[in-house]
């Protein structure tokens, strides 16, 4: 005789992710909430704030993502793919100098569009293996991009990969400081830095207009205030 079906057996059938359907829905809600909050407030958003935004308890969040690094790895997987793809696209450009400048603009624009990603590119996450793997892939491609651009005689011979890190740190700071008051200020920074990287006489696109004095003043005033989280709470420096 065929045994009667267990009425609760459907709860044990899990999707490919290995999570029950309700757990998978919670996971997607957490990821969506984290994407929104990281994009607008950076990686300083606490795990508790993300749980609140997602409408789940802290225990539920910790079961899905035990550490902030695990959550960051999941949230930014697609953006790290795009970051690596930007390097490949720049290397495919038949004009190495144009490929180099396009890459700088593309990556800095990605930072400007997502404060969390701006932070990701200036920090390391040893436990986030997939994220760090894509970063390493992009870095190796950038080394080749530098060599090609320097071989054209347009990129200064003393430009180093560390200069990109410095630029990304500076751009992350500008994005965070001016996102409301002067959201295009980063373009001015990138334009000025490309002029610093280029050999004199190299063709460069027109420099973006500088932000208005009043806009920068508003940004400076904002920086004097304590950083508030998306729900009005002041975030701790450790993001918890």
- Same domain for 184 and 146: yes
Q: Based on the domain organization, do 151 and 90 belong to the same domain?
A: yes
pLDDT in tens, 85-141: 999 999 999 999 999 999 999 999 999 999 999 999 989 888 888 888 888 888 999
Q: Could you give the number of structural domains in the chain? A: 2
Output the domain CATH number for residue 36. 1.10.10.60
Integer Rg of the chain from CA:
22
Q: Do 67 and 105 sit in the same domain of this protein? A: no
114 contacts 38 by C-beta, under 8 angstroms: yes
Question: In sequence order, which ranges of 127-198 are alpha helices (DSSP H)?
Answer: 129-151, 161-178, 185-197
Segment among 65-69, 84-88, 103-107, 221-225 with least mean pLDDT: 221-225
Sequence-distant (6+) residues with CB within 8 A of 216 are 178, 181, 182, 185
Q: Please, which residues bridge with residue 234 across strands?
A: 228
User: What pLDDT sits at residue 188?
Assistant: 96
pLDDT at 40 over 60: yes
Looking at the fold, whether 24 and 141 belong to one and the same domain comes out as: no
- What pLDDT, on the 0 to 100 scale, is given for residue 130? 86
Residues 219 and 112 in one domain: yes
pLDDT at 4: 47
Q: Is 175 in the same domain as 154?
A: yes
Query: Both 123 and 54 in a single domain?
Result: no
For residue 152, is it within any domain? yes
Give the model's confidence band at 235: pLDDT under 50 very low, under 70 low, under 90 confident, else very high: very low
Q: Answer yes or no: is 49 within a domain.
A: yes
15 domain-assigned? no
Domain assignment present for residue 110? The answer is yes
Residues 24 and 107 in one domain: no
- Is residue 156 over pLDDT 70? yes
Strands in the chain per DSSP E: none
Contact between 54 and 107 under an 8 Å Cβ cutoff? The reply is no
Query: What is the pTM for the complete model shown?
Result: 0.79
For residue 219, give the CATH number of its domain: 1.10.357
Same domain, 60 and 146: no
Residues 131 and 68 in one domain: no
Task: Label residue 234 by pLDDT band (50, 70, 90).
Answer: very low
User: Are 200 and 101 in the same domain?
Assistant: yes
Which residues form the domain of 68? 20-75
Nearest to 211 by CA among 161, 174, 236, 165: 174
Mean pLDDT on 141-167: 96
């Amino acid at each position: 005789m065929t045994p009667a079906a267990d009425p609760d057996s459907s709860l044990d059938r899990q999707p490919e992710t290995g999570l029950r359907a309700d757990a998978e829905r919670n996971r997607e809600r957490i990821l969506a909430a984290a994407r929104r909050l990281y994009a607008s407030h950076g990686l300083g958003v606490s795990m508790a704030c993300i749980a609140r935004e997602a409408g789940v308890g802290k225990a539920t969040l910790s079961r899905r993502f035990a550490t902030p690094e695990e959550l960051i790895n999941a949230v930014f997987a697609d953006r790290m793919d795009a970051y690596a793809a930007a390097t490949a696209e720049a290397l495919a450009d038949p004009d190495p100098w144009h490929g180099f400048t396009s890459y700088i603009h593309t990556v800095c624009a990605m930072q400007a569009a997502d404060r969390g990603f701006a932070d990701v590119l200036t920090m390391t996450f040893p436990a986030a293996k997939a994220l760090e793997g894509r970063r390493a892939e992009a870095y190796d491609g950038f080394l080749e991009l530098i060599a090609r651009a320097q071989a054209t005689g347009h990129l200064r011979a003393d430009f180093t990969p560390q200069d990109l890190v410095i630029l990304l740190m500076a751009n992350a700071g500008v994005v965070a400081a001016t996102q409301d008051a002067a959201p295009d200020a980063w373009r001015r920074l990138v334009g000025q830095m490309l002029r610093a990287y280029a050999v004199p006489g190299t063709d460069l696109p027109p420099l973006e207009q500088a932000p208005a004095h009043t806009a920068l003043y508003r940004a400076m005033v904002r920086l004097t205030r304590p950083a508030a989280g998306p729900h009005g709470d002041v975030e701790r420096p450790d993001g918890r």
